[in-house]
Structure 1
């Protein structure tokens, strides 16, 4: 009996050990934990190709981590050895075997070996006393494109900082660095044939600061900042050693002001230009004439010589058609080539560039607007406005990289906007990034093969220095890496979050300025019978949460949170996390309660994926929109009307209806064209009780309060009309306007 119990005890112990999760990111495809451990010490010998980058990288990294210098150790026995091998017929990217006597890393090539080295380094950094568990790992990535983007046009970063950025990608097995080198606000790459691009286009008179709606500037000249061709070669070589492909982006036909400032003859008009000092989209773009194509081909010749990547990114996004509509040459070109319209002209432009790039043995990739007017034959699409562009590309047998703003824009807020540095807008917390699946459900298995992978983008309008770059990408880059590797599991997000916390120790050692937003209080409004409640959560122990409902700052002695807080009156809830004398940032939420709060609401048209946090319920959650925080307190609709039907549950008396819309034309956000209030007792037949037009909405600056007389109904429908297509003279002319709406309240 005792023997049976001992065996049973051993089996339980082994089972528990085998289920222990390693602190690895991205998590490997297959991990088998075994008994025993390998002791890493100053007697350990590293055996491999001593001339290879991977061998030298491992030794140098190990020395940085724990001070061990193993470069001069020789094998005296078969014990305490780390083997770095390449096995070309291997079916896996890499394999790791750890026993009590040795560690073996086997890659199918140098890249696989490098990935294995990164995994082992993580094991060393997250293990205690350099004791590594015996195990076997078999691993490979699911997606071929695992990318991060960096915009250096709005704000510039040095070669040293760009190399650090590449190091971060390498740490987490990302393999593509998308370098956004040109835009309206700055041209950052030396082109020897056109020196004025950097003489003129690499500097601007001043820069916009604060939120876009503030419309304020710093008054300080910016630049000249650019990379010489020798610096470009240095960065490309640095990335290649770490098995990262650098994909350059040269924007066309839009986002061209910096280039037109240097060579104004390439525009449709003859006026002088200067690099933009504001953020946003501008009407002046490349004119599709022969001298423009000659210029761009010459630029691309030099770019292709510098970057050996298969793909060259040509932008293609947010190109207003205003100048083309008024340009005699453009209109003649449309007629001559039997093009349908200016969208067809954009397709003509992209296809002509593609033919040239293809003639040089390369391929183009562009933002999903290159689909306008018809996709170039061999082009790949980077789907950013949502997933639709990627789906359309894949269904027509074109490759696509998924980078939807709702999940992959790291210039969005990642925590409570009130406690975060100023950001572009949007709300993309760590768990949302981790939840993303790059394969759209609309694609079958065959078409799914055209999804190359996933990428996150870091636009730098509001990112002033490299410390803030670090803050915006970490820890979200870790979530992206696991999504791209194919081992993310949103159902076990808490496990991933625990591993992230362990990796914070690594970032601390590297002196990286990462966001600690997951430690702060996360508040979520939930419906309850008769109204709403406010649920608080944190990555830490919930009993550490303290809150107040009178607007006062919480202390360690404030009320302890245990269940969702009922919100029945207009109030301010402040919360913070306390542990061992430490306090998190204070989260503040103001509530404005009305008769619609918590009621059932149905939308006829759904909001954009990028601005849909909370869904339709956001319109009745008791929270008024903050004009500087678009992602968490507003719903955004591009080209669509807001038609919201609210069910009170029973006939209800009211006499006032209110809601807010935004006016931010620089970001294509326009006030509503009209609004209408209707009522019904059965939810089917509605009677209009109030209508207002554009003049009234603009007079109220979008803050709408409507007196509707004494009403008594079970349903109310609010119809808010989108401005439609943006008119000439406005940023984004000819594109669909955005309509942002917050709380719909009734009193």
Structure 2
């Protein structure tokens, strides 16, 4: 009987331990907690066999928590025992065993040892105040080989020390690839000794766009010259290598080349002159595919491969307008000479020629998914950013792919309520959305899935002026990316992850990192309710702390306590905030509602919006929220190359006389006003009669803010067809590409 009771107690003990999840990010593959604990000593003894470089990093990270001394004693000691290749071939595998006397790390490589140290650092940070770490055994390895973060230093430049800090953040959360975006229209940031004008001229611009794109305002201040010398680049690469991070350089071609062309205009299809771009967006002047250009790029790449030992060299390949190539006699002759189908075939010719040269250097190319245009180069890998289709196409063709779709992995998007966030590029990518991403597309079978190298997030810096803002945009989303790449994310247990994130904030506080606190703020979601709408409020904290007002006033501790979704019966402004112990703990969130006869009604779309701009789906068009023209997050739906065909069920035959909606114009970002709009009505949802049509001229005159007077009408069903501008015409950024159409709210009065 006693033996049975002891066994039962042991089982219960193990169950309790298993429920005490550690505050580790990314969470390990296998954690076994056991009885006992490791008392954190004043001085941690270090085994003589510890790898020196990685151990030096460990000591530096914990120098304010622990003192260290070298010793061969086993008491309160950190010990390393290498594993043989026969025991594990996984270079990133590690085992971490903690008992009352000793911390034991085992791995096949120093990289595995370094990853174990990251876990151990987090444990010391978590338990230093308690004074002891639970006994445990962790066996761990990542799911994906490529776990990356990108940094654009062209739109805004960051110093060597700041880039090193960025690399440190990647190391903390077990990312292993730093994608360094070094050239673009707005600046050339890498010293090339054979071509000094690239940095003498191309590393500066006369001014910079400021504020929202639609404002079209500039600061009037010269920017630069800013670039990295080759010695600085070698220093950064060495720094990253010491942290087991691969630096992948990006040299953009054939598009995004204005900075290079400003220095060497003879590489263009036209004579120029050119200057580094002062605006953001996409520009028609690109590299001309002539022998002189290829010789230039080959010479540039000769120096690049000497600086970067990475297996892959990123050659961009994205957003290359074909306008100049269509008008260029040399390009047209090249198309005929090589039996190319068109300018897209010429892009493929360009990429394949560069790939052949890089392959000859023992390296491989990787590019954005536009390198699929006209046919993929034989050995190229694809970085899938416009969605997941590029990665799917590559994997099915047995090419490697890195998944980085904008909808989940663009950290220049808003991460909280756009109205309380710093200005961002657009989109809405909160922490939970990043965490929900699965890099393996459902369309791939097991064999094809093996070609998915991993996942990466990108940080474009049009609206990021300094490094504090870099920190704000990547944290805490980098933590979600880390767990996705490690392969242990579980969207069903997001709340557990969120709690672990909050526990890590104290580590970031200690490091003086300016992280976003958006998860503390009130999150609002419009939901259908009683043939209308209600506003659902939530917070990562105790929901009893939410206070709100409906008259537009600032909420106080004495304001209405949030309990259930708030009904929105008429046009009003709801403001909300989170309070704790009588003190305001969040930003004040504000949402204005404009109620019409379509608000909250059932709506269907014939074609769905782009993933990047699809928050709320079709319901966004009847949620009572008018979009802010300066903020493309949350309140707009974006359609590339597609019309909007929306059918709204008013529930019963209804009198109305006006339809309104808004579209946007931002040609630099390929966003064009609607070409036309048609209004139809029906009583049976089958036979529709057109009652109003408006054309391009009227829409332009209204600057996209459309109000159509219909006269007195009565119907149950309303169909609105808003026509996309189609293919962008010559003379515009992105010419020959599909235009974007943005729509916010379809209202009826």
For normalisation by structure 2, the TM-score amounts to: 0.98
Q: CA deviation at 1:628?
A: 1.1
Q: CA deviation at 1:60?
A: 2.2
CA contact (8 A) 2:50 2:80 kept: no
* 1:518-529 superposed matches below 5 A: 518-529=519-530
Q: Secondary structure at the match of 1:442?
A: coil
What residue is the counterpart of 1:204 in the other structure? 205
* 1:359-438 superposed matches below 5 A: 359-438=360-439
CA contact (8 A) 2:44 2:67 kept: no
Q: CA deviation at 1:393?
A: 0.6
* 1:150-549 superposed matches below 5 A: 150-549=151-550
CA contact (8 A) 1:532 1:621 kept: yes
What residue is the counterpart of 2:599 in the other structure? 597
Q: CA deviation at 1:19?
A: 1.4
Q: Secondary structure at the match of 2:479?
A: helix
Inter-partner Cα distance in structure 2 for 1:438 and 1:13: 37
CA distances 1:166-193 after superposition (whole Å, capped 9, x unpaired): 0000000000000000000000000000
What residue is the counterpart of 2:98 in the other structure? 98
What residue is the counterpart of 1:85 in the other structure? 81
Q: Secondary structure at the match of 1:711?
A: strand
* 1:26-45 superposed matches below 5 A: 26-45=26-45
Q: 2:636 aligns with which of 625, 634, 637?
A: 634
Q: Which has the larger displacement, 48-57 or 258-267?
A: 48-57
Q: CA deviation at 1:10?
A: 5.8
Q: Secondary structure at the match of 1:654?
A: strand
Q: Secondary structure at the match of 1:224?
A: coil
CA contact (8 A) 1:639 1:724 kept: yes
For normalisation by structure 1, the TM-score amounts to: 0.98
Q: CA deviation at 1:117?
A: 0.5
What residue is the counterpart of 1:663 in the other structure? 665
Q: 1:607 aligns with which of 593, 606, 609?
A: 609
Inter-partner Cα distance in structure 2 for 1:738 and 1:73: 62
Inter-partner Cα distance in structure 2 for 1:511 and 1:437: 31
1:48–1:609 distance in 2 versus 1, CA, 3 Å: farther
Q: 2:71 aligns with which of 49, 69, 74?
A: 74
Q: CA deviation at 1:50?
A: 4.9
What residue is the counterpart of 1:574 in the other structure? 575
Inter-partner Cα distance in structure 1 for 2:176 and 2:82: 19
**CA RMSD, aligned part only?**
1.3
CA contact (8 A) 2:123 2:133 kept: yes
Q: Secondary structure at the match of 1:717?
A: strand
CA contact (8 A) 2:418 2:633 kept: no
What residue is the counterpart of 1:735 in the other structure? 737
Q: Secondary structure at the match of 1:323?
A: helix
CA contact (8 A) 1:49 1:55 kept: no
CA distances 1:555-602 after superposition (whole Å, capped 9, x unpaired): 000000000000110010000000024311000000001111111111
1:49–1:56 distance in 2 versus 1, CA, 3 Å: farther
CA distances 1:284-304 after superposition (whole Å, capped 9, x unpaired): 000000000000000000000
Inter-partner Cα distance in structure 1 for 2:117 and 2:456: 23
Q: CA deviation at 1:13?
A: 4.0
Unmatched segments (≥5 aa) in structure 1: none
Inter-partner Cα distance in structure 1 for 2:378 and 2:268: 27
Unmatched segments (≥5 aa) in structure 2: none
CA distances 1:150-174 after superposition (whole Å, capped 9, x unpaired): 0000000011000000000000000
Q: Secondary structure at the match of 1:632?
A: coil
Inter-partner Cα distance in structure 2 for 1:589 and 1:394: 43
What residue is the counterpart of 2:23 in the other structure? 23
Inter-partner Cα distance in structure 2 for 1:4 and 1:312: 63
Inter-partner Cα distance in structure 1 for 2:43 and 2:154: 49
Q: CA deviation at 1:139?
A: 0.4
Q: Which has the larger displacement, 248-257 or 580-589?
A: 580-589
What residue is the counterpart of 2:121 in the other structure? 121
Inter-partner Cα distance in structure 2 for 1:690 and 1:746: 14
Inter-partner Cα distance in structure 1 for 2:356 and 2:189: 25
* 1:127-146 superposed matches below 5 A: 127=127, 128-146=129-147
Q: Which has the larger displacement, 52-61 or 27-36?
A: 52-61
CA distances 1:60-96 after superposition (whole Å, capped 9, x unpaired): 22214x1x221x34234x3211112321333360001
Q: CA deviation at 1:277?
A: 0.6
Q: Secondary structure at the match of 1:410?
A: coil
